[in-house]
Chain A
């Protein structure tokens, strides 16, 4: 069953003297039980995607295309429908940088009880919900500034899971965590999928994606350049950018990609990776399409 479906999803920000193309023509499909990892460098548009799906973009954003979750339109539903039926109910968000995502003047218990009550659930179950996310219920009466980074991470996870949403979006959930906490967080995401939930994992941590993802979408300069089952992506990357990204990993070749990603205000009409790509030629001036958006893929017969 398809939970999340986007077609031609694009997001642009209109600035005074420029247009930022943050997300371009995104086709995504996440089924129940699937963990899709969207990977890419910082500034490629990953987080904007998460915010677009939740209707959290600032006023100067222009969104086009289609996006549905569980059959409900995400882009054309009013603020009321989003607040009452989508956010927290159908899509849960584990936000980036948990310490700043918690209201500083409220205790974990009041935050959790508020979320539960808002979704017609028993606020007394706060202890159990916290424990399920690995947060010690004894710490629920602490304020956010009294929590360590790991505890804050577990608390925002508890808040996102409190209402048991079918789709969970985790925005860089492993950033700044030590190894055991990364493992804990990834295990939790994996377990949700194994129990029939769907997870959209947004990360620049390729190792994390490799460990838990079913499918991987590699994002570069606002576009998805490779969207395939995880095993294929990590063993036989087809897009030169994916290959270069993997070679840059410390436990592989540790060789950085030459050059810099293009500015999102001035994207080329053709392949955005061409200026940094060893395989590029004149055909790359036209936009490539398909699950591997490349005119000269490293592998032509790829499982999609």
Chain B
């Protein structure tokens, strides 16, 4: 089946990409920031499969380092967003009443603002760093998780098995940890996985706008931004190589996450919606 071939391809891509980011210092020991003015703007060749940029640095090599940073930021930011979303959604769903109303209106308000703009606002207030970017993404991407957790808890709260657990002598805490959380955690895990590619794109966007990671760090967004200058001199590869890498890797993650969701919930047979 074509579906299966695609999945297999996604798996292989992901394994290769993540393997490369982890092993690159060993298998391709090259100083990622060493300037080599003798080899500026070389087009792709066996020696430099991705060509070199306007400072003579190997584009593919730097892209792998960039991917390393982007994936790290993506994962940590997605985890942070899920934690925040889980806490807010949990409070709204469990406490209900006014807490719920206030928190949900807060979420509606935040959702009404463009989240990239909000993210820019947050990084602009902080010194450019890895932590600032993670914070910016984490603080703008928890809304959907909070909504999922809240609605899940609201529907679970009134189910007979909760009353049955309480009738058996379960304390509030035990109902929460043993009877509610096991239902909600898989959904949070899934939301987190689906959020990773989104967070990677977000990081890239911020860096591309020059608001993300400091310029000396090879991040994919920084590289695409730098590559714009080379575009004028005809060195298209300086932007295209990191750009392609980000597209391929995030698509692979998204494809696998979607597949995982379909497995958990066969009713949610959905195409890639991100």
Contact = CB atoms under 8 A, between A and B. Distances in A.
**Size band of the interface chain B makes with A:** 10 to 19
Given A115-B169, A118-B170, A95 B178 contact: no
Interface string A151-166: 0000010011001000
Nearest to A156: B164
Contact of A105 (B160, B172, B183): B183
B169 A118 contact: yes
B179 interface: yes
Interface in B163-199: 163-172, 174, 178-179, 182-183
Contacts of A106: 178-179, 182
A83 B167 contact: no
Given A95-B160, A104-B161, A118-B174, A87 B168 contact: yes
A200 to B, nearest CB: 13
A105 B182 contact: yes
Interface string B147-172: 00000000000011101111111111
B169 A103 contact: no
Nearest to A101: B164
A127 B138 CA distance: 46
A119 to B, nearest CB: 6
B169 A83 contact: yes
A156 to B, nearest CB: 7
B167 A93 contact: yes
A159 B168 contact: yes
B166 A56 contact: yes
Contact of A104 (B168, B171, B183): B183
A84 B170 CA distance: 8
A115 B178 contact: no
A54 interface: yes
A88 interface: yes
A163 B169 contact: yes
A156 B174 CA distance: 18
Contacts of A79: 172
A54 B167 CA distance: 7
Contacts of A83: 166, 169-172
Contacts of A100: 159-161
B171 A95 contact: no
B267 to A, nearest CB: 15
A101 B169 contact: no
Contacts of A93: 164, 167-168
B8 to A, nearest CB: 30
A54 B165 CA distance: 12
B270 to A, nearest CB: 22
Interface string A105-131: 110000000110011000000000000
A31 interface: no
B233 to A, nearest CB: 59
Given A118-B174, A119-B169, A103 B182 contact: yes
A151 to B, nearest CB: 16
Interface string A43-59: 00000000100101000
Given A114-B174, A118-B174, A95 B182 contact: no
A230 interface: no
B197 to A, nearest CB: 27
Interface string B93-109: 00000000000000000
A157 B159 CA distance: 19
A265 interface: no
Interface in B210-258: none
A105 B172 CA distance: 18
Interface string A78-107: 010001101111011101110011111110
A102 B179 CA distance: 9
B160 A88 contact: no
A103 B179 CA distance: 6
B166 A87 contact: yes
Nearest to A115: B168
Contacts of A102: 161, 164
B34 to A, nearest CB: 53
B163 A95 contact: yes
11 contacts: A83-B166, A83-B170, A87-B169, A88-B169, A95-B167, A97-B160, A101-B161, A101-B164, A103-B178, A104-B183, A160-B168
Interface of A: 51, 54, 56, 79, 83-84, 86-89, 91-93, 95-97, 100-106, 114-115, 118-119, 156, 159-160, 163
Given A56-B163, A84-B171, 11 more contacts: A56-B167, A83-B166, A84-B169, A93-B164, A93-B167, A100-B161, A105-B182, A118-B171, A156-B164, A159-B164, A159-B168
The 4 closest A-B pairs by CB, nearest first: A88-B169, A101-B164, A93-B167, A87-B169
